[in-house]
Amino acid sequence: MTTVPEYFGSLVFDSRMMKARLSADVYHSLKRTIQKGTKLDLSVANAVAAAMKDWAVENGATHFTHWFQPLTGVTAEKHDSFITPAPDGRVIMEFSGKELIKGEPDASSFPSGGLRATFEARGYTAWDPTSYAFIKGKTLCIPTAFCSYGGEALDKKTPLLRSMEALNKQSLRILKLFGHDNVKRVCACVGPEQEYFLVDKAMYDKRKDLIYTGRTLFGAKPPKGQELDDHYFGTIKPRVAAFMDDLNTELWKLGILAKTEHNEVAPAQHELAPIYTTTNIATDQNQLTMEIMQKVAAKHDLVCLLHEKPFAGVNGSGKHNNWSLSTDTGINLFASGETPYENAQFLLFLVAVVQAVDDYQGLLRAAVATAGNDHRLGANEAPPAVISIFLGDELTAILDSIENDTPYNGVEKKKMKLGVDALPRFTRDNTDRNRTSPFAFTGNKFEFRMLGSSNSIACANIMLNTAVAESLRLFADELEGASDFNKALHDLIKKTIKTHKRIIFNGNGYDDAWIKEATEERGLLNLRTTPDAIPMLIQKDNMDMLMAHKVYTESEIRSRHEILLENYCKVVRIEALTMADMARKEILPAVEAYVSSLVSVTTAKKALDAEIPSNYEQKLIKCLTTLVDTIDHRTDVLEQAMVKLDTMGALAEEAAFIRDDIIPKMCELRAVADEAETLTAAKYWPFPTYGDLLFGVK
Ligand code: ADP
Ligand code: MG
């Protein structure tokens, strides 16, 4: 197979393959299950399983696995081979409908946040037929949901599917009011842009911090960073280009629509964007993309860093979640239409998002909160931790005119009367793109930019889908009973703008003045760290909303709250221990060795002639020995704080102590070690520097 169209999707059991390999009856009942969620009976499942197995075996698979997304944030799989003993002592390859539909992995080692009692180790995986099975290596992977014995979701996919359902239900109510009786389904679509760094494997292997934590914990600023902006969209280096080539091929075989690739702002930083698709498939595919990026990198003696902030002082990596709503009849609900009526509908969906983001800022922020992402959000890098929406000047002016009944000063310079006047088309204005906004309207979709590069996109989309479903629910409740629909619609949009316009901000989100205005004048939340953001999950209004839409049960939310906090504590704990280890075993001995060489030079000079100057050596010796003492002292201090951390009981207390005490101590230790690096001869420094790592891949 040579051309892309020939091999695209060749490792996916997609609808083309289903049609080719299943009888018409089986194919149609499977399609019904996929489209309508009807129950699949066992005879159909058996036929599907047999066809899948034959296809997989022909493509070199020997095993199958239920592929799922536990709350660790990565994917999990337990492989079983297809082999079954045959009476003649040989084996045959078998796979039953039961094995396809349901699995029972031992769930005891996956985090459950208290959802599963220790005596109940079983968890169940259940086939999600809306996401196609695929082959990875020698394994047939079956995308599944993962739940406890009691039926509670232990994964990210189940709540995601529920949130899509909630959004579908409420959107349909609204569309009915606009006369779209033919629309049967509304789906949230996502195109996640994925940023990452590539570093040389041999250099990576010399850095314990990268190995244990995915980011550098030490490292002085190199003479050159990203200040020249010469990397962004720059020529792709041969090793990187070879990696990207291979990566595309692997992704295309898996039916992943990898579309755009380019260098990012920081040296060694790159981006990959797929073509958008249904949210749950986009989520599965993004998880796969991250996994395959790492595998393909290894083949090229590279390491793909997905951490949000692998290097201090240069940009970190995020994931832009491009999100829109579309109908099964092919309408994008965020595209402004041709007629005044379509525009009213567009504006209603638009203000539904404005209201959702304003009302549920806390949930959106919590959905992207991790120890790694804290280095981006709310640190000296974008986007800020304060959530606001960028709508652009044109759209903001239209909303203003609706709110105030004043003339709209756009093309037509007249009053905007909804349902009567046509709006101009909102083509994306490239000159007016605001990269500093955490949540931007970009012509016909919203771009939520706060996600960390290693995050699963599930959480952010669960919150976004459900919060918008809630706005639409309230809107539908109000409009369904209205005697004069047009008037009620106009009043509702106007009222929504008035109430929620504080969340709209078109200026520079990095500006300190904005943070002050946002928090002091507009009352927006500024949740700078994970321990600040996670409690939003269990705030009463937020929980009630998520439960009302049946996206989470109370215990499911509480379990996520606990797991996220616990993860934060574990991650920083590993970082702190790694720092102390590197300081003691690598940095201090290296600086000492260099000092000792300087001492020998001084001694030798003196032995030759007491008059030979050795000011240079003495000055350095003095400086470095002082630094050595400080590094040692600050390592002690950090270690003592870690001992104290171990005595703490409650998770929230532990997380707060990490935020307020451990992390500042880590920063202090790093500062002196980095200073020592700038004064120590290169050949003594024990691991590759920032310059080596950032510019080492040719
Ligand atoms: P950039 O933001 O880097 O300029 P684009 O805006 O062109 O890039 O596209 C970024 C991502 O947005 C891509 O993954 C693309 O598929 C996705 N995208 C485009 N249109 C939509 C849409 N209507 N809904 C969701 N995602 C979309
Ligand atoms: Mg973008």
- The one-letter code for the residue type at 7 is Y
- Helix, coil or strand: residue 52: helix
Query: Alpha-carbon distance 489 to 495, whole Å?
Result: 10
Q: Is 586 helix (H, G, I), strand (E, B) or coil?
A: helix
Please tell me the distance between residue 67's alpha carbon and the centre of ligand 1 in angstroms: 27
Instruction: Tell me what the mean pLDDT of segment 422-450 comes to.
Output: 74
Nearest to 684 by CA among 611, 628, 637: 628
Q: Which stretches does DSSP call E strand in 208-275?
A: 258-263, 269-274
357 neighbors 496 (Cβ within 8 angstroms) = no
Q: Which residue has the higher pLDDT, 112 or 525?
A: 525
Average pLDDT over residues 223-248: 83
Pick the range with the lowest mean pLDDT from 445-449, 483-487, 585-589.
483-487
Please state the atom number of ligand 1 nearest to the C-alpha of residue 323. 25
Q: Which amino acid belongs to residue 181?
A: D
Dist. CA 259 → ligand 2 center (Å): 13
The reply to whether ligand 1 has any atom less than 6 angstroms from the CB of 195 is no
Lowest average pLDDT, out of 427-431, 515-519, 610-614, 634-638, goes to 427-431
pLDDT of 33 higher than 70:
yes
Task: Give the Cα-Cα-Cα angle 561, 462, 345 (nearest 5 degrees).
Answer: 145
Confirm or reject: Cβ of 445 under 6 Å from ligand 1: yes
For the chain, give every domain's residue range.
4-155, 166-187+329-552, 194-317, 567-694
Separation of CA 288 and ligand 2 centre (Å)? 20
Ligand 1 centroid to residue 322 C-alpha, Å: 6
Q: What topology does CATH give the domain 194-317?
A: Creatine Kinase; Chain A, domain 2 (3.30.590)
Structure-derived torsion over alpha carbons of residues 402, 404, 407, 408, reported in degrees to the nearest 10: -50
Ligand 1 pocket member 308 (CB < 6 A): no
- Using the mean position of ligand 1's atoms as its centre, give its distance from the Cα of residue 1 in Å: 30
Q: What is the pTM of this model?
A: 0.94
Give the residue from 382, 442, 485, 445 showing the smallest Cα distance to 188: 445
Q: What is the pLDDT, as a whole number, of residue 408? A: 65
Euclidean distance between CA atoms 389 and 352, whole angstroms: 12
How does pLDDT run across 541-583, given as a tens digit for each residue?
999 999 999 999 999 999 999 999 999 999 999 999 999 999 9
Q: Which two tokens stand for residue 457?
A: 């996109």
- pLDDT above 70 as % of the chain: 94
Q: Which residue do the tokens 């309408």 mark?
A: 331
CATH 1.10.10.60 fits 567-694, yes or no: no
Higher-pLDDT residue of 38 and 620 is 620
Tell me, using a 6 A CB cutoff, whether residue 457 lines ligand 1: no
The answer to whether residues 124 and 104 touch, using CB atoms and an 8 Å cutoff, is yes
Nearest CA to ligand 1 atom 13: 191
Q: Three-state SS for 12?
A: strand
What is residue 552's predicted lDDT score, i.e. its pLDDT? 97
The model's confidence at residue 423, banded by pLDDT at 50, 70 and 90, is low
SS3 at position 137: coil
pLDDT of residue 340: 65
Cα 282 to averaged position of ligand 2 atoms, centre (Å): 16
| Ligand 1 lined by 50 (C-beta under 6 Å) | no
For residue 193, the ligand 1 atom closest to its alpha carbon is 14
Which bound ligand lies closest to the C-alpha atom of 191? Answer: 1
Output Rg (C-alpha) for the chain, integer angstroms: 28
Is residue 433 over pLDDT 70? no
Cβ-proximal residues to 192 (8 Å cutoff; 6+ apart), any chain: 273, 274, 282, 286, 319, 320, 321, 322, 451, 457
Q: How far apart are CA 620 and CA 329, in angstroms?
A: 73
For ligand 1, atom 16, the nearest C-alpha belongs to 275
Q: Determine the 3-state secondary structure of 482 from DSSP.
A: coil
What is d(CA 428, CA 423) in angstroms, rounded to the nearest whole number?
15
Q: Which atom number of ligand 1 is nearest to the Cα of residue 324?
A: 24
> CA 125, CA 248: separation in Å to the nearest integer?
30
Q: What is the DSSP letter of 539?
A: S
- On whether the CB atoms of residues 598 and 621 are closer than 8 A, the answer is yes
SS3 per-residue string spanning 399-449? HHHHHHCCEECCCCCEECCCCCCCCCCCCCCHHHCCCCCCEEECCCCEEEE
The Cα 605–Cα 38 span in angstroms is: 88
Report the separation in Å between the CA atom of 373 and the middle of ligand 2, taken as the mean of its atom positions: 18
* Residue 249 alpha carbon to ligand 2 centre in Å: 23
Gap between the Cα atoms of 378 and 528, Å rounded:
5
Please identify every residue whose CB atom is under 5 Å from ligand 2, which is an ion. 320
Ligand 1 and 194: CB distance under 6 A? no
Cα–Cα nearest to 563, from 158, 114, 121, 147: 114
Percent of the chain beyond pLDDT 90? 73
Question: Residue 205: which pLDDT band, with cuts at 50, 70 and 90?
Answer: very high
Number of the ligand closest to the Cα of 318: 2
Q: With 50 as the cut, is the pLDDT of residue 342 above it?
A: yes
The mean pLDDT of the chain is 91
More reliable by pLDDT, 262 or 379: 262
Residue nearest to atom 24 of ligand 1 (CA): 324
Q: Which one-letter DSSP state was computed for residue 542?
A: H
- Indicate whether 287 pLDDT > 60: yes
Q: Could you tell me the CA-to-CA distances from 11 to 48, 137, 462 in Å, in that order?
A: 16, 10, 28
Band of pLDDT at residue 116, cut at 50, 70 and 90? low
- Would you say the CB of residue 233 lies under 6 angstroms from ligand 1? no
Ligand 1 atom with the shortest distance to the CA of 275: 16
Mean of pLDDT values over 29-35: 87
CA 26, distance to chain mean position in Å, is 37
State the pLDDT at residue 132: 92
CB 582 within 8 A of CB 208: yes
Number of H helices, E strands in the chain: 24, 20
Q: What ligand is nearest to the CA atom of residue 192?
A: 1
| pLDDT for res 236 | 83
Give the model's pLDDT for residue 72: 76
E-strand stretches of 570-614: none
pLDDT tens digits, one per residue of 141-178: 999 988 887 788 989 999 999 999 999 999 999 999 99
pLDDT at 413: 45
- The distance from CA 88 to its chain's CA centroid, rounded to whole angstroms, is 51
Say yes or no: CB of residue 434 within 6 Å of ligand 1: no
Tokens of 374: 């804290």
Q: How far is Cα 355 from Cα 468, in angstroms, rounded to an integer?
A: 8
- Atom 3 in ligand 1: which residue has the minimum CA distance? 193
Report, as an integer, the average pLDDT of 608-626. Answer: 94
Q: What are phi and psi of 445, to 5 degrees?
A: -155, 165
Q: 584 CB contacts (<8 Å, ≥6 apart)?
A: 635
* Residue 222 pLDDT grade (very low, low, confident, very high; cuts 50, 70, 90): confident
Confidence at residue 430, expressed as pLDDT on a 0 to 100 scale: 42
User: Which atom of ligand 1 is found nearest the CA of 335?
Assistant: 23
Lowest-pLDDT range, 143-147, 227-231, 527-531?
227-231
* pLDDT, position 431: 39
Compute, in angstroms, the gap from residue 452 CA to the centroid of ligand 2. Answer: 14
**Dist. CA 191 → ligand 1 center (Å):** 6
- Tell me which residue of 298, 242, 293 sits closest to 271, measured CA to CA: 293
**Which of 164, 167, 190, 193 maximizes ligand 1 atoms within 8 Å of its Cβ, making it the mutation to test the pocket?**
193
Domain 4-155 classification at class level = alpha beta
Residue with token string 């070879």 = 242
Q: Are 310 and 210 in contact (CB under 8 A)?
A: yes
Position 411 scores a pLDDT of 47
